[in-house]
């Protein structure tokens, strides 16, 4: 029944000089995860380069690693999505992933997958285990290791809706403040419950009061953490990192404005009052007119002071990378623990100077980065500083 | 392969939490092999419990008498009520032996998405009990989950205006942690350092 039992750490570690201050994945075992029936990979705490043709299974591998962060992974998948499917569409098996990470000398095994009942059936929930013992909440993962990612899906981040930017920012905030994931989840829970009550017109006022109190407390905590993180990231990205563009970051939102002018407790009261006053309108629109779920992260290309959305695709990508690198720098400086970075198809869009700067920065941070691409040559600058794997038809072989 | 009696036994066992057909078959076999030392005593215990255990009409606990042993015990402080979500939480606090008052079991938490509203919980009965002139303190020991906190907030509002002190278990309980899983020491400490959220009338 214990399909996620920790894997023995019996391999002799002979990595090319890992200098990892932060958490690093030292072993990954996948079972029936997307195209992988079974995969065992030992990156041994160094950065890893995965190259291979389209459809080989590179993003799937990074997706598995993204389950180290609270949430639904870098594809925002539903629980059953990663189950390995046969060509006829039937499920070959329920997925699970066991990831051994080293943090400050210790090794911890994180196991995740469907929660399986005594009869071997999924009960529709995802379980996360740390060394075999279930975590009471997925968000406890955030305290263990920070994980950030950039994927081709995020190319439209500045152009598309604010929800994507909030999710991106919230992942960065979790690196600074592990409890943020829990605050966001609690806020969203109260928001959903209140919307339901308003829609059914069934809730008594006292029940709505209770939910709005939760929205006010958790919502202001969310907004305050985002504000603090954006201020830090703004400072760090303005300085600019080598040839990467410097960015200016701002938080746009009502609660955020209040917090600039009044103490957090006053902002809570104000939000509580605004929600109570907005019940009729919110019942009609099915949401809530005010709250941190309406905030937005606004990014400017600092040099020319134009909004990111007006920059070229390449510049937007470079801006995102600037922010992610600034975040990693802040974490490395503060706690000596840079995040694990999953950089999917990022390198192909960088010119030679930026490519070299990215590799140097990763090494200087002591971060474990996972980089993918189709062209091996682009990663020449990482030889001796990373492990290279060839991904082909769902098999991964060291080079 | 087996007679209808055994099949029926397996079917019923399979409905227990944590058991499915396979483990139920194992449990049935285990019982049948230990007829004298386990099976018959278990049958007796189950018959006795089924005929005598009922829900306490005062607090919602399960016991063979109504009011339950705790509600009927004159040594338990009748001026203090500890409000819990489930009977399992009541039993957890009893195991810690840190509380000498009485209890009130809500029977769940408010959850619009699950269709659980105030009328589905034992809240009106709690308000009635709290209105007793002899009542001094209501201690809210709902879990530190979002639902537990929302329910606690709701109960506080409903108790507003009554001359009782309303307190909440101290922070320091792990968020998302459920009372039933806390060790006795943690529970005792949380009870010790509970804090007031409202005190009306002549309360402390
Ligand atoms: N649930 C699944 N079961 C089986 N195969 C899958 C599943 N989900 C995706 N795949 C397959 O995995 C393959 C590799 O995908 P991906 O990792 O995105 O490739 P790339 O190397 O281009 O990043 C794709 O061909 C896709 O069809
Ligand atoms: Mg891909
Ligand atoms: Zn009782």
Tell whether B119 and B101 lie within a shared domain: yes
- Per the structure, the complete domain to which residue B155 belongs is given by 62-199
Mean pLDDT, to the nearest integer, of A357-384?
94
What is the total count of domains within chain B? 2
Tell whether B18 and B92 lie within a shared domain: no
Residues A243 and A357 sit within 8 Å (Cβ to Cβ): yes
- CATH 1.10.645.10 applies to domain A177-310: no
Tell whether B46 and B142 lie within a shared domain: no
Provide the β-strand partners of residue A36.
A33
DSSP string across B21-79: HHHHHHHHHHHHHTIIIIIHHHHHHHHHHHHH-EE-TTT--EESSSS-HHHH-TTS-TT
Confidence of residue A15 (pLDDT cuts 50, 70, 90): very low
Ligand 1 proximity of A62 Cβ (cutoff 6 Å): no
Tell whether B118 and B40 lie within a shared domain: no
Tell whether B117 and B178 lie within a shared domain: yes
Q: Which residue of B has its CA nearest to A205?
A: B154
DSSP at A383: T
Tell whether B48 and B98 lie within a shared domain: no
Tell me what ipTM this predicted complex has: 0.72
Ligand 1 proximity of A34 Cβ (cutoff 6 Å): yes
User: How many interchain CB pairs under 8 A, A with B?
Assistant: 68
| Residue B203 token pair | 């309360």
Q: Distances in Å between the alpha carbon of A71 and those of A139, A184, A235, B41?
A: 8, 11, 28, 48
Which residue did the predictor score with more confidence, A167 or A140?
Answer: A167
What Rg do the C-alpha atoms of chain B give, in angstroms? Answer: 20
pLDDT at A3 exceeding the cut of 60: no
Residue with tokens 């290279």: A388
User: Across the interface, do A193 and B154 touch by the CB < 8 Å criterion?
Assistant: no
To the nearest whole Å, the CA of A128 is away from the closest chain B CA by 14
Interface probe, candidates A118, A123, A217, chain B, greatest B C-beta count within 10 A: A118
Ligand 1 proximity of A35 Cβ (cutoff 6 Å): yes
Q: Which ligand is nearest to the CA of A63?
A: 1
A119 interfaces chain B, CB cutoff of 8 Å: yes
Pocket test for ligand 1, best of A28, A31, A34, A90 (most atoms within 8 A of CB): A34
Tell whether B80 and B110 lie within a shared domain: yes
Tell whether B109 and B194 lie within a shared domain: yes
Tell me the CATH number at B154: 3.40.1360.10
Mean pLDDT, to the nearest integer, of A354-377?
94
Atom of ligand 1 nearest to the CA of A81: 1
CA torsion, ordered B71, B73, B78, B81, to nearest 10 deg: -50
Ligand 1 proximity of A90 Cβ (cutoff 6 Å): no
Ligand 1 proximity of A82 Cβ (cutoff 6 Å): yes
Which bin fits B108, alpha (ψ -120 to 50), beta or left (φ > 0)? left
Mean pLDDT of residues grouped by 10 in chain B (204 residues)? 87 87 92 96 96 96 96 96 94 88 96 88 97 95 88 94 88 47 66 67 38
Residues B176 and A185 sit within 8 Å (Cβ to Cβ): no
CA of A373 to the centre of ligand 2 (A): 8
Tell whether B74 and B37 lie within a shared domain: no
Tell me the CATH number at B13: 1.10.8.420
- The answer to whether the A1-146+337-399 and A177-310 domains have the same CATH topology is no
| Residue A354 token pair | 């930026």
**Predicted confidence (pLDDT) per residue in B5-55, tens digit:** 999 999 999 989 878 888 899 999 999 999 999 999 999 999 999 999 999
Taking the domains of chain A in order of start, what are their residue ranges?
1-146+337-399, 177-310
Q: Distances in Å between the alpha carbon of B133 and those of A393, B162, B164?
A: 76, 9, 9
Tell whether B89 and B113 lie within a shared domain: yes
Which of A182, A190, A202 is facing B175, going by the closest CB pair? A182
Query: Which CATH topology does A1-146+337-399 take?
Result: Rossmann fold (3.40.50)
Residues of chain B with Cβ-Cβ distance to A206 below 8 Å are 118, 154, 157-158
Pocket test for ligand 1, best of A54, A57, A149, A151 (most atoms within 8 A of CB): A57
Beta-carbon neighbour count of residue B64 at 10 Å? 12
Residues A287 and A330 sit within 8 Å (Cβ to Cβ): no
**Predicted confidence (pLDDT) per residue in A170-206, tens digit:** 999 999 998 898 899 999 999 999 999 999 876 689 9
Q: Which residue of A has its CA nearest to B151?
A: A210
Which of B20, B149, B176 is facing A117, going by the closest CB pair? B20
**Predicted confidence (pLDDT) per residue in A110-142, tens digit:** 999 998 876 778 888 899 999 888 887 777 788
pLDDT at A21 exceeding the cut of 60: no
User: Across the interface, do B176 and A182 touch by the CB < 8 Å criterion?
Assistant: yes
What is the reported pTM? Answer: 0.83
Tell whether B66 and B151 lie within a shared domain: yes
Tell whether B69 and B132 lie within a shared domain: yes
């Amino acid at each position: 029944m214990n399909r996620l039992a920790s894997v023995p750490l019996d391999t002799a570690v002979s990595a090319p000089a890992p200098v990892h201050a932060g958490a690093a994945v030292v072993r990954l075992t996948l079972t029936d995860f997307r195209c992988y029936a079974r995969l065992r990979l030992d990156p041994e705490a160094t950065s890893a380069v995965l190259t291979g043709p389209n459809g080989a299974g590179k993003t799937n591998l990074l997706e598995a690693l993204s389950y180290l962060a609270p949430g639904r992974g870098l594809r925002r998948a539903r629980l059953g999505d990663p189950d390995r499917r046969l060509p006829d569409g039937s499920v070959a098996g329920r997925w699970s992933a066991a990831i051994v990470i080293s943090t400050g000398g210790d090794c911890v095994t994180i196991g995740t997958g469907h929660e399986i009942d005594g009869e071997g059936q999924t009960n529709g929930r995802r379980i996360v285990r740390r060394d075999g013992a279930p975590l009471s909440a997925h968000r406890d993962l955030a305290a263990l290791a920070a994980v950030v990612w950039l994927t081709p899906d995020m190319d439209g981040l500045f152009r598309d809706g604010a929800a994507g930017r909030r999710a991106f920012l919230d992942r960065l905030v979790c690196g600074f403040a592990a409890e943020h994931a829990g605050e966001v989840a609690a806020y969203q829970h109260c928001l959903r419950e209140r919307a339901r009550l308003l829609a059914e017109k069934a809730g008594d006022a006292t029940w709505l009061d209770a939910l709005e109190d939760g929205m006010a407390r958790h919502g202001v905590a969310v907004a305050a953490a985002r504000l603090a993180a954006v201020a830090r990231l703004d400072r760090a990205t303005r300085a600019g990192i080598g040839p990467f563009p410097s960015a200016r970051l701002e938080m746009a939102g009502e609660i955020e404005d209040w917090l600039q002018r009044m103490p957090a407790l006053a902002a809570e009261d104000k939000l509580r009052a605004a929600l109570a006053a907005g019940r009729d309108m919110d019942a009609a629109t099915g949401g809530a007119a005010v709250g941190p779920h309406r905030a937005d992260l606004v990014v400017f290309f600092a040099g020319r002071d134009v909004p990111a959305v007006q920059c070229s695709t390449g510049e937007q990508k470079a801006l995102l990378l600037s922010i992610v690198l600034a975040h990693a720098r802040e974490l490395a400086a503060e706690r000596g623990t840079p995040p694990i970075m999953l950089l999917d198809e990022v390198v192909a869009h960088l010119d030679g100077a930026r490519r070299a700067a990215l590799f140097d920065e990763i090494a200087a941070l002591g971060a474990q980065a996972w980089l993918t691409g189709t062209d091996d040559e682009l990663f020449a600058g990482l030889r001796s500083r990373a492990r290279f794997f060839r991904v082909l038809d769902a098999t991964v072989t060291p080079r | 392969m087996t007679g209808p009696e055994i099949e029926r036994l397996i079917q019923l066992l399979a409905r227990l939490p944590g058991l499915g057909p396979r483990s139920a078959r194992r449990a049935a076999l285990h019982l049948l092999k230990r007829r004298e030392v386990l099976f018959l005593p278990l049958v007796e215990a189950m018959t006795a419990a089924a005929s005598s255990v009922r829900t306490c009409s005062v607090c919602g606990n399960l016991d063979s008498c109504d009011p339950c042993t705790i509600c009927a015990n004159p040594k338990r402080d009748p001026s203090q009520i500890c409000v819990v979500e489930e009977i399992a939480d009541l039993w957890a606090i009893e195991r810690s032996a840190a509380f000498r008052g009485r209890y009130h079991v809500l029977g769940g938490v408010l959850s619009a998405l699950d269709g659980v509203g105030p009328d589905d919980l034992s809240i009106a009965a709690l308000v009635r009990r709290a209105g007793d002139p002899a009542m001094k303190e209501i201690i809210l020991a709902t879990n530190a989950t979002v639902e537990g906190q929302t329910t606690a907030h709701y109960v506080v509002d409903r108790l507003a205006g009554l001359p009782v002190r309303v307190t909440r278990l101290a922070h320091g309980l792990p968020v998302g942690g459920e009372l039933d899983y806390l060790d006795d020491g943690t529970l005792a400490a949380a009870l010790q350092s509970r804090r007031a959220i409202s005190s009306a009338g002549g309360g402390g």
